[in-house]
Structure 1
Amino acid sequence: IKNIGLINTSWGGTPAEAWTTLETLKSDPDYAPILQRDTNPDDIRAKLEAKFGKLVTAETDRGKLFGDTRMVTEGWAGAEVDAAKWETMELPKAWEQAGLEIDGLVWFRKQIDLPQDWAGKDLTLELTPIDDYDIAYFNGQKIGQMGLDTNNSWQTPRVYSIPGSLVKAGQNIIAVRVFDTGGGGGITPTNDPMRIRPKDASAEQARDLKGPWQYRIEAISAIASSGEQNNPARLYNAMIDPIVKAPIKGAIWYQGESNAGRAYQYRKLFADMIRDWRRAWKVGDFSFYFVQLANFMDQQPQPGDSAWAELREAQTMTLSLKNTGMAVIIDVGDAKDIHPRDKQTVGYRLAQIALARDYGRKIEYSGPMYKSMKVEGSAIRLSFDHIGGGLMAKDGDLVGFSIAGSDKKFVWAKARIDGDSVVVSSEQVAQPAAVRYAWADNPQCNLYNKEGLPASPFRTDDWPGVTAENK
């Protein structure tokens, strides 16, 4: 009997660059933005105070967030502000993605011009999820808030009512005071709407609020320094380098959420991290098996872009490295919990890979993986690897497929299994160009092989995604 041991070296909510060597990060110009992020608290404060003026320390008692703030009396929520002290940020976006590496209180403002026939009418303000808490204002008056009284407020879209008595024709001001307690913060990007409209009006009559907003920091919280572990190479140096003299057979890896906003960059970064570890152990290309991101957040009624889908795609691309394997858990997640509770299924699927790849078991260890497509008139035929005993739809007809023509406008599609392939079509797309499957944060999807393993999400196109420019 061989002695077998597991070393658990982990830190939740951290990005892949923290587990990668500084030498690798310095060797590639694409990683320069990572190296330029300075999370030293004293440096952060000095740089921000040079821009915004003296900053106070935010109250660490979260319950006091909704207390009086002098910024309201000083007009931050109203029409008259000193524009020189405000910066601009494209929203929706986690503010870390805009270079704001802090936790604390930040105000966002947007001036909008409303037509005469909106004056005096009750309006509805819709915003994407805000991480973590917020108070919303319209023309200087508070219209709503979300905080400690709401579970998972950081992933909940906001819907606030604006009384008609505050609404006037011409210039109006929307202001949102956001409190981030840790990790990512801000008015975050999802498929949810970000708009304003008359209360009973249709979505077509709404004014889109995405785009440039003014922002200004109110305070940096006392926990702003807790992001030290996210610095480049910090966790590699502290938690990988000290154990590289231990014998190793393989590694299992569950991460990616913290890099979802930079999924295109992750295509290269994750592979480079794996190469780093293999160089450090000096025993060749040991097995490296990882878990694809689970389904998470609210389901969307229509096909759309998704940073999480792009991160799953980046993980799938990493399978091009020798001796890698991926456990797909697109059916195990929880819309309201980033940590799926079903750990047994995750462990089982990882074990199947190891049993087949490392211990010689003659078993199917992966669900269907997209291989190729062929246009057949008004339909697209999809072929797969790892079909095992055959393809199957779990619990009814196939769902989760969308299709688009060259206009890149995806619509839900009909899909059917035809032998070892899937045929996809829609009456709305006469000349199809691309198919996507399970392409969402939390998709409805049910393509499996008969071994009970789910198909990996995929797309047949390579059209630029929402994270393509994020570094």
Structure 2
Amino acid sequence: MNKYWFYKVGLVVVFLCFAVVGGAKVKLPALVSDGMVLQRGEQVNLWGTAAPGETVNVAFLKKKYKTVADAQGNWKLMLPALKAGGPYTMTINDIELKDILVGDVWVCSGQSNMELPVARVTDRFRDEITADSNYPMVRYIKTPLLYDFHAPQTDIPGISWKAMTPENVMSFSALVYFFAKDFYQKTKVPVGVINSSVGGSPVEAWLSEEALRPFPSYLNEKRIYESDDLIASMKKEERKKSHAWNVALYQGDKGMHEATPWYADGYDDSDWQQTELFASGWATNGLNPINGSHWFRKDFQVSEQQAGEQATLRLGCIVDADSVYVNGTFVGTVSYQYPPRIYTIPAGLLKAGKNTVTIRLFSYGGRPHFVKEKPYKILFGKGQPEKGELEISLEGNWKYRLGAPMPAAPGQTAFHYKPAGLYNAMIAPLLNYTVSGIIWYQGESNVSRRNEYKALLSAMITDWRGRWNRPEMPFYIIELADFLSPEDKGGRAAWAEFRKVQAEVADTNANVTLIKNGDLGEWNDIHPLDKKTLGQRLSRAVFQQRSN
């Protein structure tokens, strides 16, 4: 081998090294992207990855900043405190970020009442949402459901900032919508919200492993689910059981297999028993609930004028799930109990004279029923009876027949509710982002363990503050709304005790504010609609605190 050969090989190696380094461009986390809101009045973190030793240049607001990626390829720098404004543009090496605002940024977390979208409150606030939802200086991110039991994660891929516009607003959290809009109207300061919440989640899922150390039972539970193989095998087995249950339900349901299905137009239901919509006799065997499928049919009359029109079918809320047919045609389904049943009856389906609505109700494990004091009707026009559109009531007597009695459906393990899982995947990736504070609406899933909630939530507050490196970062706790039937005295007492625990957390932790919400509840709905009053109360509290 001659020197010339070694020379050529050396050139190739050097070339390849430059190619590798040159290809390792700066990468940014999903939060640092077009449309983001940077926190005003605080030093602001920017971070990402690059080739080890690579220089990272940032240009923003006519100033330049520089740092160097460390040996692992991580880099981070701080911008000085910024004044509210925008939109601006930022460059980070060869990346250009557009439409950046500077204002107040909030992390909103908790469970379903924090998640509940604007679309779910349009019954009550349709006109306002339609006429007043264009606030492009308000930006929003909803993190997807993720969990991890191994370690805190560093990014949440696939998320992006969205402006509050009519095109986007229906997916915004309803509470966030009313809070952010009201706060912007008060201050004219841009608002950014990162909504990292999961319906049904207990508080322990949002604590880090370190914060769980004083709670060994939860820490040990977390350790059980560190095995990916265990989770995969449990999921596989549970899917098999669920599939078998559903197959048995279908095979055993006479309503699906008779020569004329029970949902068919013109089916003879003359031998079915009569039951009042809110009666309970059909739902039990005299002592225990009957799970499986239950069928209901009701005839209603439509005029010549209404025939052929599109209409809206409202069936309140149903425990647990349903499939619905009008004149033998499938019009909709909901797979769990909480969402309002709002189904469109397409134009041409209704006919003059007698029509029939059929409900196939599914009960998985509790007492099946129709929730009282909800709308059960057919609406013509725009479906807004308060504006004078015609409606046909569906309350009163229905025809009833049991389809397939079943044992309770096999349970599904909610792995994302296990300790530390949500913290690792949905909070840890946010910790570098500079924020104004935390808004927390959670607790429904911890009412039965309210005796330990004060310690758990206080530990979470301390932990989050430490990890954001802000020992007195503001926390706003949303009080649980009133819930449960007046007849359920024990349940109502438990919820009242829980609200006292929430107040104790606010009283014993500095810079924690309780936002009153108990009076805004609905006894028959764990998701009360009046998020407007609540959002305005929250906005007022934040505004007063920032003004002091």
Smaller-chain TM-score range? Answer: 0.3 to 0.5
> TM-score of the superposition, structure 2-length normalised?
0.37
Higher helix share: 2
So what's the TM-score if we normalise by structure 1? 0.42
Q: Which of 1 and 2 has greater Rg?
A: 2
